[in-house]
Homo-oligomer: A and B are copies of this chain.
Amino acid sequence: MPSSINTNKSTFFTLRLASDAIHVLDQRALPREQRILKITTPDDMIGAIQDMSVRGAPAIGVAGAFGIVLSARGHRHLERGRLIEAVQNDAEWIREARPTAVNLMWAVDRMLIALEKLSAQADFDNDDIVRELEYEAQAIYDEDIATCNAIGEAGKHVIPSGSSVITCCNTGSLATAGYGTALGVIRSAWAEHKSLRVIPCETRPRLQGAKLTTWELQQDGIPFTLISDNMAAVVMRDGLPGAGPIACVIAGADRIAANGDSANKIGTYSLACLAKTHGIPFYIAAPLSTVDFNCPSGGDIPIEERAKEEMTHMGEIPITPDEITVYNPAFDVTPAELITGIITEKGLVTPENLKTLQG
């Protein structure tokens, strides 16, 4: 079990590489409490990813890389060859902490490539290996923020001044090393013209929209109106009273197949269908590390099913009768034909042109 501390900071970080531990803001406690978990072992990092203390595809990629650092630190006392084997072994477990977001596999694989290069450096001792892995993990973290900023720049024009934008789940600083993907696009549009309204869907069952996106928007002073997921259709049709026209829907992604089919938080497919019905553009915003060019189409993306208690309970409180059957897929797949454009750090492309960004 990781130790935890409480903070009342007005600014926050999602996760940090520190000398004593990886510090993770426990997103399960937001928005009521800012609790920092100090994670010191790969097992605890896997636990934090699985219980969604840290969540969001880019953020769990960074968390996976930091988990490799914890593995190397923990095995520092071993003989050099055994250290490398032990980290490779831990990497397999970290890689499988959650199945859908490919950023986790991408980041762990990048750390393993770095490790392989280090293992070829006969003059590097264990301390050198740990240090270099820390550098690589921190580089993944830093690049994620830069990538989010670039996504924001590439997409900000899709939200004109005076318009409203619908989004779901949380795709902000909390879902990334910082700034955000879909919420990064919204932040960049806001920075540009200071006139828009965000309509976050609350995003059942875990309410990331109601708990996390509202919290981030409130801190940035960006105007927003929370809706429940089942209100999106009527808001698309009639608009929000007193707000500008709905310019678009922007969502994040946990894995994008080579053909542009995109897995994202459950409910994204619903929004894409409804956007099509109402003639509203639908965008996915994600780093290229979310694209799995080895995955031909959405049907090949594994979809995680999560515990029924996410639906039958609110925290510890039961909301349904006991012993009922529920269906709780964490993600759904939106087919490429419903996606107007994919906003990446290399620009906004149509799904069919996604392959031009490979490499």
A-side residues, CB < 8 A to B, are: 31-32, 168, 199, 201-205, 207, 210-211, 214-215, 218, 223-235, 237, 240-241, 266-267, 269-270, 273-274, 276-277, 311-312, 314-315, 317-321, 324-329, 332-333
Question: In the complex the two chains form, is B31's CB within 8 Å of A321's CB?
Answer: yes
Residue in B226, B267, B333 whose CB lies within 8 Å of A231: B267
Chain A interface helix/strand/loop/mixed: mixed
Question: In the complex the two chains form, is A230's CB within 8 Å of B210's CB?
Answer: no
Question: Within 8 Å CB of A325, what residues of B?
Answer: 223-226
Question: Within 8 Å CB of A327, what residues of B?
Answer: 199, 225-227, 231, 235, 240-241
Question: In the complex the two chains form, is B31's CB within 8 Å of A320's CB?
Answer: yes
Given contacts A230-B266, A231-B329, contact A224 B273 (CB under 8 A): no
7 closest cross-chain pairs (CB), A and B = A230-B267, A233-B270, A204-B228, A229-B230, A234-B332, A31-B321, A314-B314
Given contacts A318-B32, A321-B31, contact A332 B225 (CB under 8 A): no
Distance in Å: Cβ of A232 to nearest Cβ of chain B: 7
Distance in Å: Cβ of A278 to nearest Cβ of chain B: 8
Given contacts A234-B332, A273-B233, contact A226 B317 (CB under 8 A): no
Question: In the complex the two chains form, is B205's CB within 8 Å of A204's CB?
Answer: no
Given contacts A228-B204, A274-B273, A325-B224, contact A317 B315 (CB under 8 A): yes
Question: In the complex the two chains form, is A237's CB within 8 Å of B311's CB?
Answer: no
CA–CA, A151 to B32, complex, Å?
A: 47
Question: Within 8 Å CB of A312, what residues of B?
Answer: 210, 226
Closest to A326 in B: B226
Distance in Å: Cβ of A321 to nearest Cβ of chain B: 4
27 pairs, CB–CB < 8 Å, chain A vs chain B: A31-B321, A32-B318, A204-B204, A210-B311, A211-B319, A214-B321, A224-B324, A226-B320, A227-B326, A228-B229, A228-B266, A228-B328, A230-B230, A230-B270, A231-B266, A231-B267, A231-B270, A231-B329, A232-B270, A233-B273, A240-B327, A270-B274, A274-B274, A276-B277, A314-B315, A314-B319, A315-B317
